Amino acid sequence: MEYIVFFVKVKFSMKMIHCADIHLGAKLNSKYSYEVANVLKSEILKTFSEMIDYANENGIHLILMSGDVFDKDKPTIKDKDYFYKLVKNNPHIDFLYLKGNHDKEGAYIENEISNLKTFKKNEITTYEYGDINISGIEISPDNEKSFYSQISLKDDKINIFMLHGEVNINELKNKNIDYLALGHLHSFKRGRIDDRGEWAYSGCLVGRGFDECGEKGFIVLDVGEKVDFDFLKFAHRTIYDLNIDITGASDLFDTEMTLKQVCSDIGTDNLLRINLIGDLSVGMDINEKDIEMLLSSYFFIEVKDKTNLKINVSDYNDDKSLLGEFVRGIYNNNNYTEEEKHRLISMGLKALTGREME
Amino acid sequence: MRLISLHINNYGKFSNFDYEFKNFSEICEDNGYGKSTLASFIKAMFYGLETIKSTTKFNDRKHYYPFAGGRFGGNLVFEFSGFTYRLERDFDEKSYVKDSLLVYKNNSVTDELGDIPGLAIFGINKESFERLISIDSEKINIETDSDINKKLNNYVENVSEDFDIDKVIKSIREKKKEKREKVLYLKDKIKNLKIEIANFQQIKNNLDFKYEKLNTLKKEKDDSLTEYEKASREETVLEKWKNYESIINDVNDKSKEIDKIRQFYLKGIPEESEIADIESLKLKINGWKTALNDGNVSVLSVNEYERLNVKYKNHMPNSKEIQSIENLITEYEETEKKIQKLTVSDKSERKKELDKHFLGVLPNNNDSATIENKLSKLEEEVNKCKKTTVTDKTLFIVSAILLAIGFCFLFIVKTVGFFFLAFGASVLIVALFMYYYSKLNTEHKNKLLNLFAKYRYTGEDLGVLMYQFKNDIYEYEQLILLEEEKQNQLRTEQEILISIRSKLDDYFLLFDLNNVAYRKAIEEIKTDLVKLITLKNTVELAEKVRKDLVVNIDKAISEIKNFYFKYSISDLKRIEDIKKDCDEIKRLTIEVKEKTDKALKFKFDNGLDKKPEYEGLDLEFLRIEMDRKNSDYNYLKQEIENLEDKISDLDEKKSQLEKSEEEKLKYDTDLRLYDCLIEEIGKADQVLKDKYVAPIKDKFVFYANLLEKVVGEKVVMDKNYKVYFDRNGVLRSSEHLSGGNLSICSLCFRLALLDNMFEKEKPFIIMDDPFLSLDSNHLKKVMDLIKSLSSDMQILYFCCHESRSFYYGLTV
């Protein structure tokens, strides 16, 4: 932006935050313990508040929220109160709030707040900040195909457009969009619209489940003559969903060593789901709970055994023992699925060799 | 299958060790030779060694790691399926990963035996190899028939020594029971969770209505607030007007009060200064009157004044006169002092001392002259004597000596003798003469001492006495003269004193003070005179003041009357009341002005141009109404929040339901699988037995027949591997067999099993001193049997005592 101060052209840039999919009051992964779920729930609220603190500390007076601030169709009064209080307590920040598919009209209505600016469903709403125009429209089943044609932005302005949903980027080409602030996808993504503009999904602010792995945060925009932006990791914890191959592990010790080696760079504040993969030989027991216990220093750990039992049936062809008869009997029984065969053999091996069964 | 040879590089205590195998190889050595090491080495060649881990107990790799270090391993050569194989192994100290294995088939490297050659050759794993191929006393030692039966099953089923298929089935059933209990628990849990979730869902659905109601209440609450605020604003304006009017009314009241006071002052309100003057006059009058009363001279003063006038009626002394009298008194006092001083006897100590010598009379001139002459003569002679250095005694001695010498020389040289005699005689004469004068002086001295004694002077030295005597005479003379002069002066002063006293007595008689001390009298006169003058002035002044006060009072009263007349104020009104009225009027006037200004400012500040015509609403009513609506709203909001809190567990319940259903599904699957497992194990057991029992039984019978000679009794086995023996034509249970015989039966079963398991190519068998419990008779028979078996099966036999050796203790 250019301003003339004492006959001298001075260029100013404006910083803003683009976030989305905060999902206040969200339901969390059912695998979490009650305590973990409570901590994460409170951290979602806390991180949203800290994002506003970040804005205050960095002189940011504009926060774009591209949908799904609330998670449920009817957010609780407490969640809404929390949100509205934060907005009211920061009157110097404009909160541009575009509703998403989770932000349905709740029964609890707050009186109009001057610095909370919303968008309409049936027409494009524009807010002007000097040379910067911030526009947006709520996508609904009624307008999801037609809204593209309504977009008409001035060429001589910096145009930021807000949408929530999976949009057709091709339909947005040559619409004079400099930055398309998107919400709906829960991971940061960016790309070009055309020669002029770029699009970006900020991703969710905090990961909640194993479908929201990776770093989470928001986008900081520096809007001057053009729009520069970058993703800022902000969530306290990261969720990891790891497939770890433990082929060759002969016991729990080997497994633990392999897992610890793979996870050595991951801080204990994070949430891990470890999928054990690979082929294990007969007699190798995997007890998910034992491994979870070994890695219990992590904020949350879930271990899933997806290993294959490495049984070569031909090895048992000439086996004259009970075990040989047992293995051959299972394998030749077509009433069992492959998984059932593996489980039965595993259980049978344990039972016949005097080991503890699951 | 046949072992040919082995070479140990290093393994346990063996180093660079070679051994050639025969069909029957015996090693009979003491304990510690390394028989078990050899058995372990053979097993390790076929199956390798377990890795050492942190959790590993003492295993073979640890146990047999060479004491002296070096290459850990060796090779084993054997025949199998018509080929010669050589297994070459090097073991790492800890992990099998670093071990190396090379398999040669007819001297060519081959991988057809895989990583575990033992598995490929024998078709059994390491544990089975240990159980079947390697036989020691512990493994062969069984005590009961049921043990035999169980062991046989175990051999067949390739499971651990204490394996019991019934126990396995039982444990699976127990597991199944546990799981079933869990499933039942989960069923209940799921049912309850579903009910809870349904309830929560119902609450959640009901919330929709409450949300709508909350919005309505919120609108009503907001409207009520707006109405109240509007009414409150109007009320504020009315209140301001009320305040303004209240001030104006107050101003009017004050003005009326002023007018009421003014009624008493028809000719105007007196000036403040005038009132102050009148007040001042009144004060003055009071003061003057008081002064008039207090100004009269007291009776005592008047009496005193009259007394003094009488006292000094005849003669009033003036100050000059007083002064001269005072001077005269001073002179009188000084004269008295002088007389007193002269009268006082002041004979000095010196005079008293001299009076003792001279008794008040000076010595006459003769006495002193005589004494002086005699003394001077005596002094002269004494002085002469003093000039002669030689005393009379000396001279007597010298003369004696000279005379003696002369007398002596008379007999030698007469001349000299005479000379000395003459000289001696002369000296003697001189000495006599000197003695005479000395005696004379002493007499004179005594006379003089007597003379001095007359005047009480004592001593030996006449010079000193004389000097003292003369001084005292002179001093005594001076003292006598001084005393005479003093007596003359005393007489003169006494005459002066008499003269002054006469004058003073005459003077004080005038005032009748003749009997009073002069100084006191003159002081009394002075005091009287001062008092008289003071009293005179006082009396005169008092009179003058009284006259002035009367004039002033009259004048002031006149002025006050004029004041009352000027303002037509009633005489009854006191000046204090007038002042109070004036002050009140002044105060009220100021107050009226201030309040008027305040009212105008209030009006201006609050923009009160025109009084509104509306009437104020009942704010209290509105407030109560607003509070009621607020309360309704808050109550519902709280209720919703409570319900939201209540159903906040909905997610948790759903999670629990998901978890429980998932868990139940898993347990259901497990239950089904447990059934399958029991069924499959049972089937396998049955198939195995069907396949192996008959042949094993046949073989057992074969070996039992061979053993009949050993045991001495016929041994049989039923289809359930139950063993009986025929004693005197009656089949008896194997429980009646001795421990040794049971061991032999066990060996038979094992051999029967091996025969059946390895039909084509029998493996070797390692016997690690298995017959510890056999007596020599039985042992010999067993040995015979084994020896005969070695033609069909390679046997590696270890023992540690010659009694059990085939070559030493037994006849092979």
Confidence label for A172 from pLDDT (cuts 50, 70 and 90): very high
pTM, 2 dp? 0.50
On whether residue B343 sits in a domain, the answer given is no
Mean pLDDT score, B20-36: 85
Mean residue pLDDT of chain B comes to: 82
Summarised one tens digit per residue, pLDDT across range A14-68 is 999 999 998 887 777 778 888 898 899 889 999 999 999 999 999 999 999 998 8
Helix (H, G, I), strand (E, B) or coil at B347: coil
- pLDDT band for position B144 (cuts 50, 70, 90): very low
On whether both B198 and B259 belong to a single domain, the answer is yes
**A115 contacts chain B (CB < 8 A):** no
Side-chain half-sphere exposure of A117, counting CA atoms within 13 A: 21
What is the pLDDT at residue A107? 41
Least Cα distance to B354 among B450, B484, B486, B479 occurs for B479
Least confident of A207-216, B166-175, B534-543, B624-633: B534-543
What is the average per-residue pLDDT within B714-724? 68
Q: What is the mean pLDDT of residues B168-194?
A: 92
Please tell me the distance from the alpha carbon of residue B293 to that of residue B312, in angstroms, as a whole number: 32
Render pLDDT for B746-767 as a digit per residue (tens, 0 to 9): 777 777 777 777 767 888 888 8
The pLDDT score that the predictor gives to residue A48 is 93
Domain check: are B115 and B188 in the same one?
no
Last residue of a domain, one of B408, B435, B454: B454
B223 chain-A contacts, CB cut-off 8 A: none
Element housing A29 (H / E): none
The band of B359, judged by pLDDT with boundaries at 50, 70 and 90, is confident
B327-354, pLDDT tens digit by residue? 989 999 898 888 888 777 556 777 778 8
pLDDT higher than 80, residue A73: no
Minimal Cα–Cα distance from A353 to chain B, Å?
A: 6
CA of A296 vs chain B CAs: smallest distance (Å): 20
Nearest chain B CA: its distance from A139 CA (Å): 24
- pLDDT for res B44: 92
Question: Which of chain A's residues have a Cβ under 8 Å away from the Cβ of B123?
Answer: 318-320
Residues of A in contact with B222 (CB under 8 A): 111
Element (H, E) at A66: strand A62-66
Q: Name the minimum distance, in Å, from the CA of B652 to any CA of chain A.
A: 7
Q: Which of A109, A250, A322 sits opposite B157 (nearest CB)?
A: A322
Chain A touched by B655 (CB under 8 Å): yes
**What does the alpha-carbon distance between residue B342 and residue B360 come to, in Å, rounded to a whole number?**
21
**Which two tokens mark A204?**
């969710």
Q: Stretch B438-464: mean pLDDT, rounded?
A: 78
Any domain includes B208 = yes
Nearest CA in chain B to A109: B215
Per-residue pLDDT band for B490 (boundaries 50, 70, 90) equals confident
Among A102-106, A248-252, B790-794, which stretch is predicted with the lowest mean pLDDT? A102-106
Q: Which domain-ending residue is among B647, B678, B712?
A: B647
Q: Which stretch of B239-243, B750-754, B808-812 has the lowest confidence by average pLDDT?
A: B808-812
Q: What's the CA gap between A324 and B62, in Å, rounded?
A: 31
Do residues B776 and B803 make contact, with C-beta atoms less than 8 angstroms apart? yes
Residue A105 at interface with chain B, using a CB cutoff of 8 Å? no
Interface of A with B in 43-82 (CB under 8 A): 74, 76-78
Kindly indicate whether the domain formed by A238-310 is annotated with CATH number 3.30.110.
Answer: yes
Is B124 in contact with A321 (Cβ distance < 8 A)? yes
Which residue did the predictor score with more confidence, A170 or A324?
Answer: A170
- Whether residue A253 lies within 8 A of chain B, CB to CB, comes out as yes
Cβ–Cβ < 8 Å for A10, A3 = yes
> Which of B119, B193, B644 has the most A C-beta neighbours within 10 Å, making it the best mutation to test the interface with A?
B644
Contact at CB, A325 and B212, closer than 8 angstroms: no
For B121, which residue in chain A has the nearest alpha carbon?
A318
What pLDDT was estimated at residue B143?
41
Is the pLDDT reported for residue B138 higher than 70?
A: no
Mutate to test the interface with B, among A255, A310, A320, A339 (most CBs of B within 10 A): A320
Residues B122 and B190 in one domain: no
For residue A90, what pLDDT is reported?
A: 94
A126 pLDDT above the threshold of 90 = yes
Question: Is there a domain that residue B801 lies in?
Answer: yes
| Residues with Cβ within 8 Å of residue B783, at least 6 apart in sequence | B806, B810, B812
What are the pLDDT digits (tens) for B37-91?
A: 888 899 999 999 888 766 656 788 888 888 777 889 999 999 998 899 999 999 9
Of the partner residues B160, B172, B685, the one whose CB lies closest to the CB of residue A354:
B160
pLDDT digits (tens, 9 = 90+) for B618-647: 888 888 989 999 999 999 988 988 888 888
* Helix or strand holding residue B581 (H, E): helix B575-605
pLDDT of residue A47: 94
Could you give the ipTM of this predicted complex? 0.71
Ranges A1-15, A106-120, B470-484, most confident? B470-484
Cβ separation of A322 and B222 shorter than 8 Å? no
Among B439, B454, B469, the domain boundary falls at B454
Q: Does B690 contact A at CB distance below 8 Å?
A: no
More confidently predicted of A254 and A241: A241
Question: What pLDDT was estimated at residue B87?
Answer: 94
Which among B6, B19, B22, B23 is positioned nearest to B793, based on CA atoms? B23
Mean pLDDT, residues B497-505: 88
Q: Where in chain A is the domain with CATH 3.30.110?
A: 238-310
pLDDT digits (tens, 9 = 90+) for A74-90: 678 888 888 989 999 99
What residues of chain B, 749 to 768, have a C-beta less than 8 Å from chain A? 757
Beta carbons of B652 and A37 less than 8 Å apart: yes
What is the rounded end-to-end Cα distance, in angstroms, of chain B?
A: 24
List the beta bridge partners of residue B86. B77, B104
Cβ distance of B673 and A326 shorter than 8 Å: no
| Cβ within 8 Å, pair B685-A347 | no
Q: What local confidence, expressed as pLDDT, does residue B132 receive?
A: 74
CB nearest to B159's CB, from A106, A322, A344: A322
pLDDT surpassing 60 at residue B812: no
Whether B75 is in a domain gets the answer: yes
Q: What whole-number percentage of chain B has pLDDT above 70?
A: 89
pLDDT of residue B628: 92
- Chain A: closest CA distance from residue B172 (Å): 7
B808 domain-assigned? yes
Which pair of tokens denotes residue B203? Answer: 């609450």
How far does Cα A51 stand from its chain's mean position? 17
Bridge partners, residue A16, by sequence = A221
- Picking from B794, B788, B797, B805, the residue whose alpha carbon sits closest to that of residue B23 is B794
Which whole-number Å values give the CA distances from B291 to B71, B276, B552, B556, B558, in the listed order?
A: 148, 22, 12, 15, 19
Assess whether B116 and B12 both reside in one domain.
yes
Same domain, yes or no: B69 and B10: yes
Answer yes or no: do A323 and B688 touch at CB < 8 A. no
Tens of pLDDT, residue by residue over A272-326, are: 999 999 888 776 777 888 899 989 999 999 999 888 777 777 777 777 678 888 8
B413: confidence class by pLDDT, cuts 50, 70, 90: confident
Residues of B in contact with A305 (CB under 8 A): none
From CA A68, how far away is CA A22, in angstroms rounded?
Answer: 6
Token pair of B307, please? 């007394």
> Which stretch of DSSP H or E encloses residue B316?
none
According to DSSP, residue A70 is labeled: B
Return the residue of A nearest to B633 by Cα. A108
pLDDT at B388 over 90: no
Look up the domain containing B420 and give its range: 386-454
User: pLDDT tens digits for B542-568?
Assistant: 888 888 888 889 999 888 888 888 888
Distance from CA of A252 to the nearest CA of B (A): 11
Contact A357 B168 (CB under 8 A): no
Give the dihedral sign, CA A276/A282/A284/A285.
positive
Q: Tell me if chain A has a CB within 8 Å of the CB of B171.
A: yes
Contact A357 B688 (CB under 8 A): no
Q: Which residues of chain A neighbour B648 with C-beta distances below 8 Å?
A: 76
> Looking at per-residue confidence, does B307 or A93 come out higher?
A93
Q: Is residue B480 part of a domain?
A: no
Task: Residue window 305-344, chain A: list those with CB within 8 Å of chain B.
Answer: 315, 318-326, 328-330, 333, 336, 340, 343-344
**pLDDT confidence of residue A351:** 84
Q: Which of A29, A325, A351 shows the shortest C-beta gap to B171?
A: A351
Residue A141 has pLDDT above 60, yes or no: yes
Cβ contact, residue pair B214, A347, below 8 Å: no
Of chain B residues 204-243, which have a CB less than 8 A from chain A? 207-208, 210-212, 214-215, 218, 222
Average pLDDT estimate for B424-453: 80
Give start-end residues of each CATH 3.60.21.10 domain in chain A. 7-233
Q: Mean pLDDT, to the nearest integer, of B272-286? A: 88
Contact present, A352 and B128 (Cβ < 8 Å) = no
What pLDDT sits at residue B682? 87
Touching A: B residues 39-58, CB under 8 Å: 51, 53-55
Q: What is the CA radius of gyration of chain B?
A: 86
Whether B757 maps to a domain, the answer reads no
Q: Are residues B67 and B192 in the same domain?
A: no
Identity of the residue numbered B215: N
Contact criterion met (CB < 8 Å) for B208 and A74: yes
What's the gap in Å between the CA of A70 and the closest CA on chain B?
Answer: 15
Would residue B51 count as lying in a domain? yes
What is the total count of domains within chain B? 3
Instruction: For residues B6 and B72, state if they share a domain.
Output: yes
Residue B147 confidence (pLDDT): 44
State how far the Cα of B703 lies from the Cα of B725, in Å rounded to an integer.
14
Interface with B, mutate which of A290, A312, A322, A350 (most B CBs under 10 A): A322
pLDDT digits (tens, 9 = 90+) for B571-598: 788 888 888 888 898 899 999 999 999 8
B38 and B128 share a domain? yes
Q: Is B551 touching A (CB cutoff 8 A)?
A: no
- Closest CB to B55 among A253, A343, A348: A253
d(CA B596, CA B593): 5
CA distance A203 to chain B (A): 23
Does B656 touch chain A if contact means CB atoms closer than 8 Å? Answer: yes
| Cβ neighbours of A322 in B, within 8 Å | 156-159, 165, 681, 684-685, 688
Distance from CA of A109 to the nearest CA of B (A): 7
- pLDDT at site B148: 44
Q: What is the pLDDT of residue B146?
A: 45
Name the pairing type of β-strands A271-277 and A239-245.
parallel
In whole angstroms, give the CA distance from residue B26 to residue B628: 109
What size, in residues, is chain A? Answer: 358
H/E stretch holding B764: none
Specify the CATH number of the domain A7-233: 3.60.21.10
